[in-house]
Amino acid sequence: MANDTTLTVSELNRRARLLLERDFGEIWVEGELSGVARPASGHVYFTLKDERAQLRCALFRNRARFAATPLRDGDRVRLRGKVSVFEPRGDYQLIVEAVQPAGAGDLLAAFEQLKQKLQAEGVFANARPLPYPPRHLVVMTSSTGAAIRDVMAVLSARWPISRVSVLPVPVQGQDAAPAMIRALAILNRDGRFTPERDALLITRGGGSLEDLWAFNDEHLARAIFHSRLPVMSAVGHETDVTLADFAADCRAPTPSAAAEQLVPDARDLRQRLDTMLSRLTRAQQGRLNQTAQRLDHLRTRLRHPGERLAQQQHHLAQLSLRLKRAMTSQLNVERQRERHARQRLYVFDPQQQVQFARQRLAQAESRLHWAMPRRLDTCQTRLSSLSRELQAVSPLAVLGRGYSILQDQQGHVIRRAEDTQPGQGLSARLGDGRLEVEVKQRFTTS
């Protein structure tokens, strides 16, 4: 090619593909699987890596169905294929023809070794409860990543009054773990730790095992374990697990799930409050109705003393009427007996009748002298009893207990203070005697 030849991007990528396919041919490559993806097309895309480099790979559908074992992140495999270039994007990749297992990946083995070591030291023993909801939540993550957007979106929807501070740190690469350790030290340093900051969320979005490797740092796990702030970890997707997750006080599968666990849903709380308010209103109304019914019942049972006095007066009148009727009946009987006696005098011999009448008269007088005192005693006792009952309900008895009846000059009874005028002369009837009084000042009860 001449030095002044200018190629298009498509021509350059085509020539690079032909050159790689011609010079390399079919080769074997060994490494660790990462970022395995299976779209609906049936093809399998993944990254093959070692400790210093990585290579994009594509296993097409017609070859993927012959794979002996399923491809999983962290597996170590041997791949047979051809080096090529995907011309539309200029991606350098390996077109895989066959897959053979080659043992567990180095990163996965290192992860398991660190996990067992830290677990034996008790670094994974944290289980402090996080405040619910936190008064001041600190989120340690990348300020430009999708994780902080997901967290803030959930917090705004569920608990808009959340107070959140973002502590920006790198979450991928060699500088990520030291930066997060320094941020934890600053956050927990004396003078910086305040009661208002009461929860810490360490989070980032999903990625391959090497993308999340910063969260498997041994020193970061120890820093999380020693943090005075309770820590929630939400790193990667639901299937991703890191040492930071084990060292934290609690773990969430995703950043959005972490935000949902940290704060309640204000809509649910508002609905519960509305329900409780409705129940309280119904209970209060029921109590008021109950009290009103009881008050009405008591009002029906409470009777004015005047009604009681009227009842007693009526009863006394009935007793007096019965007494009069009894005495009249007795007198009629005696009169009838007297008439019978007189009739008998005319039938028999006058002398005998006189003698007999005298005897009867003597007997009657004797019986009369015997019965009258007893009859009078009975009537006297009955009269005394009725008199005592009448005296018990008599207004004069009330006056005898210290009360008085006020009357104006015309003899009208004063029942209310508003019926009088200052300076008005009144007559007070007592249990014994009467007083003339003058109104100095009147008071009314509200």
The pLDDT, as a whole number, for residue 196 is 64
Give the chain's domain count.
Answer: 4
pLDDT at position 141 is 94
Stretch among 239-253, 268-282, 339-353 having the lowest mean pLDDT: 339-353
Q: By mean pLDDT, which of 45-49, 269-273, 387-391 is the weakest?
A: 387-391
Instruction: Return the exposure string of 15-34: e unless at least 16 CB atoms fall within 10 Å of the residue's CB, then b.
Output: eebeebeeeeeeeebebbbb
Is there a single domain that holds both residue 119 and residue 220? yes
Is 219 found in the same domain as 122?
yes
Examine the fold and report which residue of 52, 86, 103 is the final residue of a domain before the chain moves on.
103
Is 279 within the bounds of a domain?
Answer: no
Question: Structure pTM?
Answer: 0.47
Residue 101 pLDDT exceeds 80: no
Whether residue 240 is found in the same domain as residue 141 = yes
The CATH number that applies at residue 204 is 3.40.50
Q: Which of 47, 78, 103 is the last residue of a domain?
A: 103
Residue % of the chain over a pLDDT of 90: 30
Average pLDDT over residues 360-375: 86
Residue 270 lies in a domain: no
Answer yes or no: do 238 and 319 share one domain: no
pLDDT per residue over 211-241, tens digit each?
Answer: 788 999 999 999 999 998 899 999 988 777 8
Let me know if residue 154 belongs to a domain: yes
Are 138 and 245 in the same domain? Answer: yes
Q: Is 429 inside any structural domain?
A: yes
Domain identity same for 114 and 249: yes
| R_g over Cα of the chain | 57
| Phi–psi pair at 409, nearest 5 degrees | -65, -25
Domain-embedded: residue 293: no
Kindly state the average pLDDT of the residues 408-433.
Answer: 86
Give the pLDDT of residue 193.
46
Per the CB < 8 A criterion, the answer to whether 321 and 329 are in contact is no
Mean pLDDT over the full length of the chain:
85
Q: Is 99 in the same domain as 115?
A: no
Q: Based on the fold, state whether residues 42 and 176 are members of the same structural domain.
A: no
Instruction: Please name which of 184, 181, 171 lies closest in space to residue 227, comparing C-alpha atoms.
Output: 184
Tell me: the pLDDT tens digits for 169-185? Answer: 999 888 999 999 999 99
Flag whether 31 is in a domain: yes
Last residue of a domain, one of 76, 103, 130: 103
At residue 145, does pLDDT exceed 60? yes
- The answer to whether position 288 is within a domain reads no
Looking at the chain, how many residues does it have?
Answer: 446
Judge if 141 and 228 occupy the same domain. yes
CA angle 222, 228, 231 (to 5 degrees): 70
CB 232 within 8 A of CB 130: yes
Nearest alpha carbon to residue 267 among 421, 156, 411, 433: 156
Band (pLDDT 50/70/90 cuts) for residue 444 is confident
Residue predicted with more confidence, 80 or 306: 80
Q: Contact, 145 vs 172, CB < 8 A?
A: no
- Peptide bond connecting 133 to the previous residue in cis, omega within 30 degrees of 0: yes
Amino acid 103: pLDDT: 59
Judge if 201 and 126 occupy the same domain: yes
| Average of per-residue pLDDT across 398-420 | 82
Residue 3 banded pLDDT, cuts 50, 70, 90: low
Structural domain of residue 150, as residue ranges? 110-264
Same domain, 350 and 312: yes
**296 within some domain:** no
Residues 39 and 96 in one domain: yes
Q: What is the pLDDT of residue 75?
A: 83
The half-sphere exposure of 408 on its side-chain side, counting CA atoms within 13 A, is 13
- What percent of the chain is modeled with pLDDT above 70? 92
Task: Tell me the per-residue pLDDT of 38-52, one tens digit each, with 9 for 90 and over.
Answer: 898 889 999 999 888
**Residue 191's pLDDT is what?**
44
